[in-house]
Structure 1
């Protein structure tokens, strides 16, 4: 892999592609390293370098199902794990080995894995039971199911009665020395014999130290439920991979193991924060479990957008501010005169305050022209004294007991020229 990268950086992309293709023919290249080389070959082997796509192209480019959950992130120091705020509606709604619980009504902080467990434990997330183990449950199941294989009598692998695992466990010599026993055990697991194997080993060996086994994390009933939900095929695939290369496949296991006993199904989930991405080893595990019939997905926690800022409070006009703030506390209003079509003097009873608060309808009363007793109508015909209601937005000052405004026309010629700025009188 490194040689191919160096050749590409030197501009020798054809040689980089040939090195990656040659590495894929090596049977000892496994798990995430093999997937990384396959994806590299697909990136470099585009036409015109390579016209034919390899048969494994679709599986190497397959992306796992992704679920996105947004949460408010707490800014912390560099190098520390990201934390998020759990709202009261989610707080206590699920997670851990025991499933759901009631909401506490108080927000709290949680890491991405805790937030994911709360999401999956909620009704909207599926009502799953789950545990954050990063492979601890898988290695426990593997050791219980293959206990006799791990501790079978093989020359030179046990030098002390206090060993927790054979000396060749993390080497390539483990599987060849036990191939027949491993194949028989995998066949038994795939055929549905996992629960009986777990019960037998638990009754005889509970509390015995063994590498990868945690006797206290989950109870026997929990392990039996998980084994029943995962199924024989999924368990046999996990055991086969760990028997082939325990040191290589022990890393990159999914963060969460989820199960629903009432439905008999299980799921694994890899949790990623806002700036995380899947490694090739994690992709290899998700692909292997998905091929074995175990539902696999990625839950990505993204940072929720900040709430919009609150608008600034309205600032009162100069006349409404107190004297110490440079105001006069006068409630002055601003409006303009409106002329009657018959030439009369218009009088507006309410005007618009400068700093304003609320809107209301403004009646305009025509006082009629000089010598006309009946006033006028809204169309200026001069018949009858009517009130013309105009919906004008005005703002009433809260401290004014009576904010009526009388606008007197100073023109004596009766022309009704009320369009100019008129004198305002606060009554």
Structure 2
């Protein structure tokens, strides 16, 4: 760690790395009272014992840690379990005893499910959902509770749990989509006669393109390796890139990941959304980030929808080039590449992508399609883009990946 700091200081000294001027404003205390700190330290010690017990396979101690965490969480003051952005930044909840105990119990659910102790898992999940009101993990808890109840043959209760989770305001993205799919599967007549409003959205078919490749290995669990169109060995993503560049329609300037989208997000919102403020790094994965900047964010997104993204990108690049910024790798991509992405994706689609990342970065920063392909259609600069999720012969889409694809193709 010391060597890293020394190296970084040398780079700053020689102008290799440039940091922005941060605006630091400490307006809240992490621990409101001394007792809050002591309770947090106690919870951390229990979590440490839990981790060590799992590593050493001491299941009796694991069970004791789970029981202790459940008991303490149930008697926690309601004020701690219901921290809201209006009172304290939601990120601060991570430094509360209740948050640590909820992490222990979430891990405990996995332990009980592995041992098929579904009754114990259901009890813990119900405790979590009833005591921790404001937490993005509620989607995961509701989904696991619905699944475990079905394992126990309690289909009606499983359906009710999924229905409640699907409309929970703290449930987003992949978790919400998974719960909606469960509702549709479990709610067939006579259990439910009314079709949910989101049925058409969830039931849409995802278009698939099959690419034939000559595999080098066929072992289950091993990474897929193919002979590419050029005769060289490659992975499934590279095989897809070669297909789209040739037989798939002459797509040019193919990109093997969507890091550029994150770069565009940071560049287009570089100072506007507070990228240079101290709270960017801690709040970007919480609801507080967007709520505290909603008017400015929507103003920027409107400009992007109105076709001003390329102008905004050029201005931000020229003004901030070389300045260290979360999400931007100045050496990896050129301004020309990013301008091509902006031109081909289009203002409306780009604004939709960036809005997801601004409003709910934690939920939507995973599961994005593997490939961003684009091509120019004429000399005047008209172009189009394609987002592609690549899967091997035995791979399946995750719920989060399905949520991204359906959202991007929904009109």
| Fold agreement, TM-score > 0.5 | yes
The equivalent position to 2:270 in structure 1, one of 100, 122, 147, is: 147
Please tell me whether residue 227 in structure 1 is matched to residue 346 in structure 2.
no
Assess, with a 3 A threshold, how the Cα gap between structure 1 residues 169 and 133 changes in structure 2: closer, same or farther.
farther
* Superposition pairs of residues 61-100 of structure 1, within 5 angstroms: 61-75=203-217, 80-86=222-228, 90-91=229-230
Please tell me whether residue 16 in structure 1 is matched to residue 158 in structure 2.
yes
Residue 130 of structure 1, CA deviation = 4.3
Task: Please say if residues 113 and 271 of structure 1, whose CA atoms lie closer than 8 Å, have aligned partners that are also in contact.
Answer: yes
Counterpart for residue 250 of structure 1: 365
**Alignment deviations for residues 94-126 of structure 1 (CA, whole Å, 9 cap, x no partner):** xxxxxxxxxxxxx2111000000000000x211
Cα distance in 1 for residues equivalent to 2:238 and 2:293:
40
The equivalent position to 1:237 in structure 2, one of 352, 357, 368, is: 352
Please tell me whether residue 118 in structure 1 is matched to residue 242 in structure 2.
yes
Cα distance in 2 for residues equivalent to 1:32 and 1:77:
29
If asked which structure has higher relative contact order (CA below 8 Å, sep 6+), I would say: 2
**Pairwise CA RMSD:** 1.7
Residue 51 of structure 1, CA deviation = 1.0
Counterpart for residue 182 of structure 1: 297
Counterpart for residue 171 of structure 2: 29
Please tell me whether residue 285 in structure 1 is matched to residue 404 in structure 2.
yes
Counterpart for residue 180 of structure 2: 38
TM-score by length of 1: 0.60
Assess, with a 3 A threshold, how the Cα gap between structure 1 residues 260 and 3 changes in structure 2: closer, same or farther.
same
Residue 25 of structure 1, CA deviation = 1.7
Assess, with a 3 A threshold, how the Cα gap between structure 1 residues 218 and 129 changes in structure 2: closer, same or farther.
farther
Task: Please say if residues 269 and 275 of structure 2, whose CA atoms lie closer than 8 Å, have aligned partners that are also in contact.
Answer: no
The equivalent position to 1:128 in structure 2, one of 242, 247, 251, is: 251
**Alignment deviations for residues 323-374 of structure 1 (CA, whole Å, 9 cap, x no partner):** xxxxxxxxxxxxxxxxxxxxxxxxxxxxxxxxxxxxxxxxxxxxxxxxxxxx
* Superposition pairs of residues 161-200 of structure 1, within 5 angstroms: 165-200=280-315
Task: Please say if residues 117 and 130 of structure 1, whose CA atoms lie closer than 8 Å, have aligned partners that are also in contact.
Answer: no
TM-score by length of 2: 0.62
Cα distance in 2 for residues equivalent to 1:77 and 1:206:
46
Residue 128 of structure 1, CA deviation = 0.5
Residue 153 of structure 1, CA deviation = 7.5
- SS for the counterpart of 1:271 is coil
Residue 167 of structure 1, CA deviation = 2.3
Task: Please say if residues 252 and 375 of structure 2, whose CA atoms lie closer than 8 Å, have aligned partners that are also in contact.
Answer: yes
Cα distance in 2 for residues equivalent to 1:76 and 1:45:
39
- SS for the counterpart of 1:257 is strand
- SS for the counterpart of 2:208 is strand
Moved over 3 A (4+): 76-80, 130-134
Please tell me whether residue 201 in structure 1 is matched to residue 320 in structure 2.
no
Cα distance in 2 for residues equivalent to 1:153 and 1:267:
32
**Alignment deviations for residues 2-32 of structure 1 (CA, whole Å, 9 cap, x no partner):** 1101110111100000001011121121111
**Alignment deviations for residues 65-95 of structure 1 (CA, whole Å, 9 cap, x no partner):** 1000111111277654210012xxx31xxxx
Task: Please say if residues 150 and 166 of structure 1, whose CA atoms lie closer than 8 Å, have aligned partners that are also in contact.
Answer: no
Cα distance in 2 for residues equivalent to 1:279 and 1:131:
24
Assess, with a 3 A threshold, how the Cα gap between structure 1 residues 130 and 61 changes in structure 2: closer, same or farther.
farther
Question: Which structure dedicates a bigger proportion of its chain to helix?
Answer: 2
Task: Please say if residues 273 and 296 of structure 2, whose CA atoms lie closer than 8 Å, have aligned partners that are also in contact.
Answer: no
